[in-house]
Amino acid sequence: MINQSRTEEEIRALVDEYSQLIFRISYCILCNRDDAEDAVQETLLKYLTKAPEFNGEEHKKAWLIKVAANISKNMLMLRVRRDTFSLEDFKNIGICDCDIDSLEVIMGLPPKYKFVLTLYYVEGYKCREIAEIVGISEEAVRKRLQKGRELLKKEMERNELS
Amino acid sequence: MKSIREFTRLISQISLSDDDKERIADNLIKKTSAKKDFPRKQVAVASAAVIVAAGVCIPVMLRSGNRTRYNISHV
């Protein structure tokens, strides 16, 4: 049920506070700006309509990340064609021309590694917290981090050589 | 670690513009208010009432119709 007391200001404040985080997570999985924006909208709509009681700010943030990741993965499965990266798309998400090659390499990594790497290095979550969000063991998170780092290093070195 | 630094730097840069945020907020407001306006509960109650009324009235009407025909045949 939608909370009747939510005002426009509250919705705008919610978008201001969480849309960047959700967009980053969704973009890492979907590699497409428009789809990531749709995922942000779906996630926040789900929050407005179906959010449970939260124990605190961190719990709420973790819930949003989990929902965003699930929505993005579902969208990825439903998408028939695989989008190619476009320069326009990269510019629209705040990446400058000189960084486009590197971002293309990063976005080429499998989503499960990008997701865990983003939560660990960008959002600052600990392995235990990531394990709870993703729904895998701590050991599996560590393995994904290790494998993700190796893949990233390999791909970046290959990109520098070419 | 250079690759991880690069990863962190670039992923942190990914962002939505203020216009994008505003568009998302507008869409959310539109969607939530549209749902608010739609009286799901009232529609469900009204539908249930119509079904119950039909369930009661139709057999009564049919019975009364039979009785009328029977009465007429005897007149």
Q: What is the mean pLDDT of residues A38-44?
A: 95
Q: What is the mean pLDDT of residues A13-34?
A: 92
Average of per-residue pLDDT values in chain A: 86
* Cβ <8 Å between B16 and A20: yes
Other beta carbons within 10 Å of A6: 16
Residue A105 is predicted with a pLDDT of 84
Separation of alpha carbons A9 and A15, rounded Å = 10
Tell which of A18, A121, A154, A159 to mutate to test the B interface (max B CBs under 10 Å): A121
In Å, how far from its chain's centre is CA B13?
Answer: 39
Residue A80 is predicted with a pLDDT of 60
Q: What is the mean pLDDT of residues B29-44?
A: 73
Taking Cα atoms as reference points, which of A72, A71, A74, A54 lies closest to residue A63?
A: A54
Structure tokens at B73: 């045949």
Rounded to the nearest angstrom, the minimum Cα separation between B10 and chain A is 7
Average of per-residue pLDDT values in chain B: 80
Rounded to the nearest angstrom, the minimum Cα separation between A55 and chain B is 24
Residue B47 is predicted with a pLDDT of 87
A107 at B interface, C-beta within 8 A: no
Instruction: Indicate if ipTM > 0.85.
Output: no
Separation of alpha carbons A53 and A113, rounded Å = 30
* Cβ <8 Å between A94 and B27: no
Domain extent listing, chain B: 39-75
| Torsion angle of the four alpha carbons A150, A151, A152, A156, in this order, in degrees rounded to the nearest 10 | 110
Q: In which band, very low, low, confident or very high, does the pLDDT at B35 lie, cut at 50, 70 and 90?
A: low
Class at the top of the CATH hierarchy for domain A1-83: mainly alpha
Determine the topology of domain A90-162 in CATH.
Answer: Arc Repressor Mutant, subunit A (1.10.10)
Domain extent listing, chain A: 1-83, 90-162
Other beta carbons within 10 Å of B18: 9
Q: In which band, very low, low, confident or very high, does the pLDDT at A150 lie, cut at 50, 70 and 90?
A: very high
Instruction: Considering only residues B70 and A45, tell me which one the structure prediction assigns the higher pLDDT.
Output: A45
